[in-house]
Chains A and B, each alone.
Chain A
């Protein structure tokens, strides 16, 4: 039996995650090439394609970073393939260069870029609003709010892109990527074989003389796109009240529920934009005309709000337009049903009744995310802290290992973005002469650490870079990268050796250790500490979760404390493996949590190993 997402079964209803619905939509449109760099909340899209790839009729790759993913996708659509490229919002910053210019070149085969935004920073370093990128590049934008729409809009966006030869953005938010709902399947579209890139430099090589007419071309295409947005079935009106509400994305769901539950339905008319850019100017103007007021519901930046204010001015309309100026609609974080309810009341000059709910309890112990028991990063950090203490400044990067920031390890003093550990570390070291130790993971090294390392060598910086190679992209769900030996689908046939790359980049002061060997790691660190210039320590040990699930590694031993130990708590205060606990003054190790890394035995000689009991 094939995977349900591949079933040619129009009319079938399946419960899908928003991200799975996007996959189905792309399959229905006849997607031929899919590229990505994983990142929450987008990751289940590429991960699902990866799992389907042995059975599916499409090409899929985890690219080394978002820029590369976008460029591979760009070449594919120029060659005539229907193409999807996926990333999280900050990934589009990395891919912004090809995005801006591909808009000029166009997308003959069709190209949709998924931008998975994260209002509220559930798993991101910022909450930028990527609808601005659709405006900046001048490309159309769809914003689904349910699983069904995630499927339907992905399909429609790909077909629209091919029809108009324009790249299209599918902009989601965490709530939409990670909701589950019923999805009714549609039919598969027939595929046409890509014809290859035509010999037509006038249209595909943007030297200035060609780029100028390309820009005009783009604007003409967007004008044609606009006429279709005016009548798009994804833009809907309901209600016939005197006050208008304009809503996009997940806010449309909050609004529908809030209207039904507040009993204010008779007061409002609603215009929902699912196909939200280019603006359906005529429809919006007609909608505003005759309304007493307009409430704009959009998370993050007041983009639509500003645009409709301009439209109203152009049309000579003087209705009251409200959005971010309402105290209940902040410019940061997510919206909610409650906020929308308050805004509806505010639009009527009334105050929403306060909901009655149970009281909260202050000061409950929190559960901050933590490195897993047996994580090799904890071991590497432990050794670095032993050798450097607070003497060094720690330049961190993005991955599980960012969690080393927590006490007792405290191994992150600053972090900018993917790949910044080495380059920002160089800047800090040069500016203030600080001793800098930078940390980068294996996947992030391939993403954008290599260029920073080349720069460090070339510009003769003084930095110790620790490459924490755990053989997978752990944080986002164990995706492969060029350096891995194994993937969930088998061996990596084209492995790139990090050590060879580091040496080829001109690094001569190099050590490689297994971080679970404390003595060897400390020794290597001490040697490197005595040197200056660019130094690299490569620590190699697979993430234990990945080792267990994918590499089928079994660790038969567990750590335990044969009593009596003196309960000094040193191991808790310096290593703090989550398998440790202290009950009634006694230090214990939980066998179920212990992954058997055997690192703590080297930290305290009272800890011993024994066979796992089950």
Chain B
């Protein structure tokens, strides 16, 4: 199982968003294709609104991604996309949410966060491809905000970067989730695929 081309995906989001569920699902999809996969997570006190970073690596052993090593940056929240930019290799690909989840200090009006324009400009300045999607809205329209993460995975599948297409992820969703939950997530997946193709 070790001859596949290496691919490193760095994922980042906010606790409670479902970042880890998305990571696990993607890893399961890779494994279902018989490809070598390692995923990394750091569980801590994430339930309390901290940053959650995770990784998915194909064709390498280490689950860690250092600065300049990620081929793809999946940002489930735009400030976190900006924070994680150094992990991306120059010319890499960014797929990100454009809907903010305000950090406490911003929510309390004590600090000001970056705006979307700044984030997009900084992302475009160093990445090869940059795409932003309103994944939380997509998720909501499918029944759960968290499904927005699956929409972003849909965009990733549609990008052609993975050694498989959205149908493999769909099969994994159906195989691992309860039918009702799976339905919403498959819908979100399709929305993500379409959004990538039409943007």
Contact = CB atoms under 8 A, between A and B. Distances in A.
Question: Do A and B assemble together?
Answer: yes
Interface of A: 13, 15, 40-41, 44, 122-123, 145-147, 174-175, 178-182, 250, 252-254, 256-257, 260-261, 336-338, 355-361, 364-372, 400, 403, 475, 545, 572, 576, 578, 580-583, 585
6 contacts: A123-B44, A147-B38, A179-B38, A182-B1, A358-B125, A367-B103
Nearest to B32: A15
B86 A360 contact: yes
Contact of A364 (B37, B68, B79, B107): B79
Contacts of B44: 40, 122-123, 369
Contacts of B39: 179-181
A355 B38 contact: no
Contacts of A358: 68, 85-86, 88, 90, 92, 122-123, 125-127
Interface in B62-116: 62-64, 66-69, 79, 82-83, 85-90, 92, 102-109, 111-114
Contacts of B61: 145-146, 252-253, 256-257
A573 B79 CA distance: 25
A254 B66 CA distance: 11
A15 B63 contact: no
B111 to A, nearest CB: 5
Nearest to B38: A181
Contacts of A368: 50, 104
Given A257-B61, A365-B112, 13 more contacts: A146-B38, A178-B43, A179-B63, A253-B60, A254-B62, A261-B6, A337-B64, A361-B83, A364-B82, A366-B105, A369-B44, A369-B45, A581-B107
Contacts of A257: 60-62
A370 B31 contact: no
Contacts of A371: 48
B171 to A, nearest CB: 15
Contacts of B28: 15
Contacts of B82: 361, 364
A262 B176 CA distance: 38
A8 B62 CA distance: 29
Q: Closest 3 A-B residue pairs measured CB to CB?
A: A357-B68, A355-B68, A582-B109
A15, A40, A174, A357 interface centre (most CB from chain B within 10 Å): A357
A146 B1 CA distance: 15
B41 A572 contact: no
B40 interface: yes
B127 A576 contact: no
A179 B40 contact: yes
Given A358-B85, A361-B122, A545-B47, A338 B42 contact: no
A585 B68 CA distance: 40
Contacts of A252: 61
B118 to A, nearest CB: 8
B14 interface: yes
Nearest to B1: A182
Interface of B: 1, 6, 14, 23-24, 27-28, 31, 36-51, 60-64, 66-69, 79, 82-83, 85-90, 92, 102-109, 111-114, 122-123, 125-127
Contacts of B41: 178-180
A365 B42 contact: no
B45 A365 contact: no
B40, B46, B87 interface centre (most CB from chain A within 10 Å): B40
B85 to A, nearest CB: 4
Contacts of A367: 14, 49-51, 103-104
A355 B69 contact: yes
Contact of B108 (A40, A545, A580): A580
Nearest to B29: A15
A260 B82 CA distance: 30
A337 B63 CA distance: 10
B89 to A, nearest CB: 6
Contacts of B67: 338, 355, 357
Nearest to A357: B68
Contacts of A41: 43
Contact of B64 (A13, A336, A355, A400): A336
B42 A178 contact: yes
B31 A356 contact: no
A370 B38 contact: no
A221 B63 CA distance: 36
A257, A578, A580 interface centre (most CB from chain B within 10 Å): A257
Contacts of A372: 47-48
Given A360-B86, A581-B107, A336 B66 contact: yes
Contacts of A361: 82-83, 85, 114, 122
Contact of B68 (A253, A256, A356): A356
Contacts of B89: 355-357
Nearest to A334: B64
B49, B86, B102, B107 interface centre (most CB from chain A within 10 Å): B107
Nearest to B60: A257
A337 B62 contact: yes
Contacts of B63: 175, 179-181, 253
A496 B40 CA distance: 39
Given A40-B43, A364-B114, A182 B79 contact: no
B59 to A, nearest CB: 9
Given A355-B68, A355-B69, A370-B48, A178 B103 contact: no
B15 to A, nearest CB: 8
Contacts of B24: 15, 180
Nearest to A145: B61
A253 B62 contact: yes
Given A336-B66, A369-B48, A15 B86 contact: no
Contacts of B125: 358-359
A257 B64 CA distance: 11
Contact of A338 (B50, B66, B108): B66
B193 to A, nearest CB: 23
Contacts of A181: 37-39, 63
A559 B172 CA distance: 40
Nearest to B44: A123
B6, B24, B62, B66 interface centre (most CB from chain A within 10 Å): B62
A362 to B, nearest CB: 11
A15 B79 contact: no
Contacts of B45: 123, 369, 400, 403, 475
A582 B107 contact: yes
Contacts of B102: 581
A356 B128 CA distance: 13
A257, A358, A359 interface centre (most CB from chain B within 10 Å): A358
Nearest to B106: A365
B122 to A, nearest CB: 7
B37 A365 contact: no
B64 to A, nearest CB: 6
